[in-house]
Amino acid sequence: MGSAPPVNAPAPLTGVVEPELARQLPQQPLNLDAPPKILIGNIPLKPCSDSLPREDKIAAAFNNSSRKMLSYMPPTLQNGEVVVRPSMQTIREGSRRWHTTAVGYFLGKRPYFHHLDNYVRSIWPMVREVTATSNGFFFFRFTTGATMEEVIEGGPWLFQGQPIVLQKWEPELWTIDGLSTVASGIGKPLYPDAITRDCTRLDFARVCVMLDISSKLPQHVITMIPMENGGESACKVDVEYEWLPPKCNSCHTLGHTTSACESQKPSKPPVSVYVQKPKRVPPTSGPVAALR
């Protein structure tokens, strides 16, 4: 129904400082007595107390980052399924944000984006932006909701002899609160990537999430969309993990699989070895025995 975008959890950040951030850093003289600063990606990590465990230091660094935008909203577990429930205010906010956007799909061969972009701007001068996804959908953002309704009602529309199915797009959960709600079904959400935040790619929402290695990672999240009449509509949001380290379900640590865990290898039974005791030879009589 297009109400909730799938969530793609990204890989951990690398240690490369982005050029734009480097230009923004103040040029200060070197102070050897100052506490060290660490950069992970483009996130400056603040020094933490040495009394904290290493895992808590990493969590505190991410929480103190200026890029942290999402909030954790506890999900529920029903019949083995992870269930999240966004508020009605979240749904209304998403509807207001996208109330001027229509989605279209061609029944035949997918046209070239630039050809379609030039064509719709010539027949729909009120179009502000045209975007496309890898799965064949095109999104048209108009200046007002009224002009979008006029275009939808003025169909059917043809492009190079192919009809396009055009309707209003209603992604109620493509907002900060909506992404926070859905991503909370996976773990503790930290922030979306820049493309997801700016809505310049609509194939999926890419969110950085802090995971609990001791818990099971869900493959989808059930999202209960509240309705204006008081009911709920269930929507399944698929989850894809961009990268996961090897995880052991036996010792609950990262770095190796369960089959390679030392605790899973059977111990070898003790082996009895029989060693024959050498026989003692009594000394012989005579001069030879005396020399010994």
Whole-number pLDDT of residue 95: 81
160 and 15 part of one domain = no
212 and 149 part of one domain = no
Whole-number pLDDT of residue 198: 77
The residue among 135, 168, 201 that closes a domain is: 168
Sequence length of the chain is 292
107 and 127 part of one domain = yes
Whether residue 268 lies inside any domain: the answer is no
186 and 219 part of one domain = yes
The residue among 168, 188, 208 that closes a domain is: 168
Whether residue 262 lies inside any domain: the answer is no
160 and 182 part of one domain = no
**In which domain, by residue range, is 109 found?**
99-168
136 and 198 part of one domain = no
106 and 126 part of one domain = yes
Tell me the per-residue pLDDT of 256-285, one tens digit each, with 9 for 90 and over. Answer: 888 888 776 666 666 666 667 777 766 655
Whether residue 266 lies inside any domain: the answer is no
61 and 103 part of one domain = no
83 and 190 part of one domain = yes
Listed in sequence order, the residues at least 6 apart from 246 whose beta carbon sits closer than 8 Å to its beta carbon are: 254, 255, 256, 257
Tell me the per-residue pLDDT of 217-240, one tens digit each, with 9 for 90 and over. Answer: 899 999 998 888 888 888 899 999
Tell me the per-residue pLDDT of 63-112, one tens digit each, with 9 for 90 and over. Answer: 555 565 899 999 999 988 999 999 998 888 888 888 888 888 888 788 88
Whether residue 143 lies inside any domain: the answer is yes
Whole-number pLDDT of residue 82: 93
- CATH number of residue 148's parent domain: 3.30.70.330
11 and 83 part of one domain = yes
% residues pLDDT > 70 (the chain): 68
Alpha carbon distance 70, 154 (integer Å)? 40
The residue among 168, 202, 223 that closes a domain is: 168
177 and 146 part of one domain = no
Cβ distance 178 to 94 under 8 Å?
yes
Whole-number pLDDT of residue 74: 92
pLDDT for residue 158 is more than 50: yes
Tell me the per-residue pLDDT of 17-75, one tens digit each, with 9 for 90 and over. Answer: 444 444 444 444 444 444 444 333 444 434 444 455 554 555 555 555 556 589 999 99
Whether residue 30 lies inside any domain: the answer is yes
- The structural domain count of the chain equals 2
Whole-number pLDDT of residue 257: 82
Whether residue 224 lies inside any domain: the answer is yes
* DSSP class per residue in 6-38: -EEEPPPPPS---HHHHHHS------TTSPP-E
Whole-number pLDDT of residue 56: 53
Mean pLDDT on 241-255? 81
The model carries a pTM of: 0.58
Whether residue 289 lies inside any domain: the answer is no
193 and 67 part of one domain = yes
Whether residue 246 lies inside any domain: the answer is no
Mean pLDDT on 199-210? 83
